[in-house]
Structure 1
Amino acid sequence: MNASYLELQRLLNEILSIIQGARISNVYHMEDDSIILKIRSESFAGELRIIPGKFLYLVEGSYEKPKELTHRGKALRSLLANARIKAAELVEGERVIIFHLEKGGKELKLVCEFLPKGTVIVLDENYVILESLHHLEMRDRKIVPGERYTLPPAKQSISKDPIPSILEKLTPKRSIVSALAVEAGLGGRYAEEVIYLAGINPSKKVKELSRDEFKKICEAIQRVLDQAKCGGPVVAFSPEGEVQALPYPMESLNAKKWRFEEAPSLNEAFRLAYERELARKLNEEKRKAIEEKINELEKRAHERRFSAQRLLKESEELRKIAEKLFQLSPQIEHVKNKPGRHEIEELLIDVDAAAKKLKIKIQEKELEFNADESFMRQVSKLFDDSKKAGNAARKLLNEAEELEKKADKLRRGIREAVEQAMIQVSARIKVSKGKWYDRYRWFITSEGFLAVAGKDASSNISLLKKHLEPSDLVFHAEVRGAAAVILKNGKASGEASRKEAAQFAATYSRAWREGLSQMTVYYIEPHQISFTPPPGHYLPKGGFIIKGERKYLTVKLELAIGISENLELIYGPPEAVSKKTKNFVKLIPGTKKAGDLVNEIVTILCRELNVNARTMKMLKSEIAELIPYGRGEIAKK
């Protein structure tokens, strides 16, 4: 996963106003080879994570740091700590960002290269390299301390140079998608998007393109540039599990069955995508290490079981031989001092009188006995040997069982290890001041309008007095004890948004507690509301007076609660929630208590997600607060 020039351009635009003037309080070299600048200003405290060769992003929070700082990390810290960020710029047409710093009255430059051999470089005011994360020697430049820093060879800038003039310079014999990616500087992802939008075969040579096709490509490039600047950022997931932050949902990827999760900014999209990628890699490492231990335990258990089976077989054979010899011992005693070969039933007995030995062949085995010793005592020893082999086998089987139990315990612990890995790579996000409507209940309608509801009588009045504007609409259920809902800019909304706002008002009303399936809701314009009672009348707490005509809607009492891939909790009317995620449950009035209901909801929503214990606990707490009147039931889809 990496960022193109267009994406870096937008990323820098998003974060520049936040980091400009901020002080770098500390520097860390992370295990993934990224550099974290801990920065602080009067209005912001957080971390800028720079992943050389890939991208950067800003987070209002902090990451878990390595216990020890690397040698290069220490060198960068000594140079950058306590420096102030004066400005930052993206080099035209290149994936290089230069931060202009000031420390102790001296100017410094922090160069972040997001090229394939990416690195982080500190320069003095004369562009002499003081230190770099990686010391590199390339064909046209050196990045080592003491050398003067030079930028990579200049390239055309697709966002600055006229598009037709760039296309005219493309190599005629090159395929159009390759030429756009490399020579026009679009990169592979955007080159493929342009060709897809233009409807042209990507393998077609530049010289084979018609004038009309060139025109289509120009139009497609301009469309892509506009979307890269102003489109709605997303985290994209391929069918194979690849994850990528994008400034907008690309049509070429949508055609390849990629799915998209909306993000509030491209910066946040890169954070979410990278943390997910880090978690995946760390999960694989953790899982691989645990599975190696499991394989070793199972191998040892298998060896013990194999040896145990061999010993059990040997024990059984010895026991049967001993029993047979015990049965025939009188006959054997009779012949054990008579030289020559004797046959007693299926036994062949060879007696060597001179050596005072006798050899007995039984069940394909040949056993040797001493003629001077008691034959029964020697048979008894065979019984002892059989018993010892059996005991040894049982000991090995017990050891195998213990090893298998350890393997099973490790196998059950894989999920816990994965959860710990996810906690380790995820930023501990600070609770920000947020939007004004975060203190209320709210959702975004399927048409993109904001609907905000009070939580009680007091917040109803606060909401209406502080945030009601002439262009809004107000919704209220035809029952006492209901939420007041403001549909912001509601006069411009369509029927779908008004129905969803009405449904939200009905859901958070006493109608839910009474178990009703439908409710009538009215809506009015702001000028129809008054907080002053007529002379001689009393207005109860949380009450308001409505003048003029009301418009009515009858809606179902339904509440959808869902979760996105980045674990964002989404709730509201089902139609609105389904626009944001397919992973949701639908609640209707019922008698099941919130405690039991929350466990069911979380189990369903997190079934296919890697959710750590801390996040699971937080989700349960947040969902419990959303359930109207603390009870309901899950509707069948």
Structure 2
Amino acid sequence: MKEEMSSVDIRYIVRELQWLVGSRVDKVYHDGDEVRFKLRTKEGRADLILEAGKRFHLTSYIKEAPKQPSSFTMLLRKHLGGGFIDAIEQHQFDRIVKIRIGNYTLIGELFRRGNIILVDSENKIVAALRYEEYKDRAIKPKAEYKFPPARENPLEVSFERFLDLMREEPELELVRALARKLNMGGMYAEEISLRAGFEKTTPVKELSDEDLKRVYDEMIRTFNDEPKPNIVFKDGVMHDVVPIELKIYEGFEKRYFPTFSEALDEYFGKITLEKAKIEQTKKLEEKKRGLMATLRKQEEMLKGFEKAMRENQEIGDLIYANYTLIERLLEEFRKATETLGWDEFRRRIDEGKKTGNKVALMVKGIDPKEKAVTIELDGKKVKLYLEKSLGENAEIYYEKAKKFRHKYEGALKAYEDTKRKLEEIEKLIEEEQKKELNVKKLERRKRKWFEKFRWFVSSEGFLVLAGKDASTNEVLVKKHMEDNDLYCHADVYGAPHVVIKDGQKAGEKTIFEACQFAVSMSRAWSQGLYSADAYWAYPNQVTKQAPSGEYLGKGAFMVYGKRNWMHGLPLKLAVGVINYDGEEYVVCAPVEAIKAHTDKYIVIRPGSMKKGELVKKLRGILKKWGYEVREEDLNAILPPGGGEIVEVVG
């Protein structure tokens, strides 16, 4: 199974991603060996991933960012954040990607362990994922960045040079010669051999110059083949992802993709998800294994304590059950040891055993130090202390039984506690497996034309649009405002242009809502005002024609003729999820407009809460209602500045 991109893969992906040139870097994230760029492109948001030693492509599998950004993250954000991508290149035919952003270049080394290095305009290293030293170059701060030693580029090699390289080691098999001499890897060497019509194991010495010309031509053709991105499956499992159709995979199950980036993302994204699933429960599984081992030890301990408790209890009971015998033995042993001494007592017991004396045969041990004799009674060994009475001897065993009972009870409590912890861990593992992974696949639908603007649907069902900035203000008025629409604008400098589509059929409610939207989406909101004025006019009153001697910048227009004013409009909006044009959208609009399309909404107005905090609170409420909304999507629809939540309905 493929685990990293080849030089050929990089050639194709770099060519495919040229459309990203000119995109703005909104944010940079770093986690482990991965760096992800959140880009603002001409097509909308895009996430570009660069993983050291592995891959480079657009991704929809978004990993949850670490709570604490690394120092590498902060350096990348400092130098690259807000910049624009000026170039995306492959270094020669190596597994090296270069992304130039302003005065800096991010270099991704995708071979072996890999690395990601930031260099400045003088090619000096600013930061790196890993600082390392090799015999021919060093990756360390302020050092000049050097590429690894150059290898032959199959795209630039002439046929004459190709011939010389092939003839250097004529004993080599064709596939080995291609892979070793021309920096392409075994798979593509095999593909070229197959396309040229030769067995991959054919020794080079058996090929004529004409044969090698065929190989050379196929090599050039292969690396310039028409893209046909696909994932190759083997026995139902993903095996490879390639940018072109390959003969070596004829007959294999394949899944084709519109772009190579999508194919790479699906392939590596699935691998990332699988790794994330394993990582998510790894620590819990380790803890579970530890608890299970503890549980087994505790079970053995419990069995031991239970056995000792039972045996001592039985011996105590046995002493009382054989009261007369034990009393007699204690008396006889006591007298004998006092009269004869312990050594003579032992000798007489040994002699008695030889002659078959019943009492002597019962004795299994003599302990002069403790003044005790161990006898066997009903198959059990009973140690009798001669200086103690029968009752005291029995009590010794009852006390031992009691101690083992306490130990058993303590061990049982610990066992039950371990068992409870194990059940909790198993429950946590189950919950973790059900829980969303820290890697999510963003399903990107094609954006509708009106989503380029701020927008809402009025309570009467009319589409209302507003510009987001100078560019969208310009586009809205010039391209999308038609004769049967209405134009609205707040009496606030820099306020957005607002257009009611088909507005001349709209009632007073829609016009009021559109003008309220105009004042709420202006800087009046960030200034903390609770009301402002706005007006509406007809499209033929709005023009780019400036008064004599004046110039209208991008997004600015003149309004001539009568303006229909509305005074003291409240700055108050609501956030909710509405269904429009067959799809669900999270929308921020005047309260009455939202209210008409959903029964769950959050009312907001200007306030002291920072926008980021407000976004988090809104996101939390929407999540409780079953809507998973990204922070950036909420940021995009809210008015400028902070605010406060006035009411939650639903």
- Please give the range of the TM-score, normalised by the shorter of the 2 chains: 0.5 to 0.7
CA distance 1:164–1:203, change in 2 (3 Å): same
Cα distance, 1:23 vs structure 2: 1.5
Query: Secondary structure in 2 aligned to 1:139?
Result: coil
Matched, 1:324 2:318: yes
CA distance 1:376–1:273, change in 2 (3 Å): same
Say whether the 8 Å CA contact 1:235–1:260 is kept in structure 2. Answer: yes
Say whether the 8 Å CA contact 1:244–1:270 is kept in structure 2. Answer: no
Whole-angstrom CA distance in 2 between matches of 1:76 and 1:321: 78
Cα distance, 1:43 vs structure 2: 3.5
Match of 2:375 in 1: 360
Whole-angstrom CA distance in 2 between matches of 1:350 and 1:243: 74
Matched, 1:20 2:26: no
Match of 1:504 in 2: none
Say whether the 8 Å CA contact 2:159–2:213 is kept in structure 1. Answer: no
Whole-angstrom CA distance in 1 between matches of 2:162 and 2:98: 26
Matched, 1:425 2:439: yes
Match of 2:256 in 1: 262
Cα distance, 1:267 vs structure 2: 0.5
Tell me how large the CA RMSD over aligned residues is. Answer: 3.9
Structure 2 length normalisation: TM-score?
0.57
Letter in 1 for 2:23: A
Whole-angstrom CA distance in 1 between matches of 2:307 and 2:369: 35
Whole-angstrom CA distance in 2 between matches of 1:206 and 1:41: 49
Cα distance, 1:168 vs structure 2: 4.6
Cα distance, 1:195 vs structure 2: 3.6
Cα distance, 1:88 vs structure 2: 2.5
Match of 2:227 among 227, 230, 248: 230
Cα distance, 1:82 vs structure 2: 1.8
Letter in 2 for 1:27: V
- CA displacement 1:88-129 (0-9 Å, x = unmatched): 332332333333332xxxx33333333335333333333333
Match of 2:269 in 1: 275
Whole-angstrom CA distance in 2 between matches of 1:358 and 1:161: 99
Match of 1:127 in 2: 123
The within-5 A match list for 1:52-451 is 52-59=52-59, 62-102=62-102, 107-116=103-112, 118-161=114-157, 166-170=162-166, 171-172=168-169, 173-197=171-195, 200-209=198-207, 214=212, 217-218=215-216, 220-221=218-219, 224-227=222-225, 229-231=226-228, 233-238=229-234, 244-248=240-244, 250-253=246-249, 259-338=253-332, 339-340=335-336, 343=358, 347-348=362-363, 359-362=374-377, 366-371=381-386, 373-386=388-401, 388-390=403-405, 392-393=407-408, 396-397=411-412, 399-400=414-415, 402-404=417-419, 406-407=421-422, 410-411=425-426, 413-414=428-429, 416-418=431-433, 420=435, 423-433=437-447
Greater Cα radius of gyration, structure 1 or 2: 2
CA distance 1:263–1:392, change in 2 (3 Å): farther
Letter in 2 for 1:8: I
Whole-angstrom CA distance in 1 between matches of 2:416 and 2:137: 62
Match of 1:468 in 2: none
Match of 2:4 in 1: 2
Gaps of 5+ in 2: 337-348, 350-356, 450-622, 628-650
**60-69 or 74-83, larger mean C-alpha shift:** 60-69
Cα distance, 1:65 vs structure 2: 0.8
Whole-angstrom CA distance in 1 between matches of 2:114 and 2:369: 89
Say whether the 8 Å CA contact 1:8–1:95 is kept in structure 2. Answer: yes
Say whether the 8 Å CA contact 1:337–1:353 is kept in structure 2. Answer: no
CA distance 1:199–1:378, change in 2 (3 Å): farther
Whole-angstrom CA distance in 2 between matches of 1:251 and 1:385: 81
Give the total of aligned pairs. 428
- CA displacement 1:58-91 (0-9 Å, x = unmatched): 2368542111222222222221122111233323
Whole-angstrom CA distance in 2 between matches of 1:270 and 1:45: 19
Say whether the 8 Å CA contact 2:25–2:81 is kept in structure 1. Answer: yes
Say whether the 8 Å CA contact 1:23–1:85 is kept in structure 2. Answer: yes
Query: Secondary structure in 2 aligned to 1:230?
Result: coil
Say whether the 8 Å CA contact 1:25–1:40 is kept in structure 2. Answer: yes
Whole-angstrom CA distance in 1 between matches of 2:360 and 2:48: 91
Structure 1 length normalisation: TM-score?
0.58
**64-73 or 398-407, larger mean C-alpha shift:** 398-407
Say whether the 8 Å CA contact 1:198–1:216 is kept in structure 2. Answer: yes
Say whether the 8 Å CA contact 2:315–2:382 is kept in structure 1. Answer: no
CA distance 1:322–1:344, change in 2 (3 Å): farther
Match of 1:38 in 2: 38
Query: Secondary structure in 1 aligned to 2:142?
Result: coil
Whole-angstrom CA distance in 2 between matches of 1:396 and 1:92: 69
**296-305 or 345-354, larger mean C-alpha shift:** 345-354
Whole-angstrom CA distance in 1 between matches of 2:434 and 2:204: 50
Say whether the 8 Å CA contact 1:26–1:77 is kept in structure 2. Answer: yes
Letter in 1 for 2:16: E
Whole-angstrom CA distance in 2 between matches of 1:239 and 1:152: 38
Whole-angstrom CA distance in 1 between matches of 2:367 and 2:48: 92
CA distance 1:254–1:379, change in 2 (3 Å): farther
Cα distance, 1:418 vs structure 2: 4.5
Letter in 1 for 2:223: L
Say whether the 8 Å CA contact 2:26–2:82 is kept in structure 1. Answer: yes
Cα distance, 1:301 vs structure 2: 0.9
Whole-angstrom CA distance in 2 between matches of 1:248 and 1:226: 9
Say whether the 8 Å CA contact 2:374–2:382 is kept in structure 1. Answer: yes
Say whether the 8 Å CA contact 1:301–1:399 is kept in structure 2. Answer: no
Say whether the 8 Å CA contact 2:36–2:50 is kept in structure 1. Answer: yes
**327-336 or 167-176, larger mean C-alpha shift:** 167-176
Gaps of 5+ in 1: 436-613, 619-637
Cα distance, 1:305 vs structure 2: 1.1
Say whether the 8 Å CA contact 1:336–1:351 is kept in structure 2. Answer: no
The within-5 A match list for 1:429-578 is 429-433=443-447
Query: Secondary structure in 2 aligned to 1:337?
Result: helix
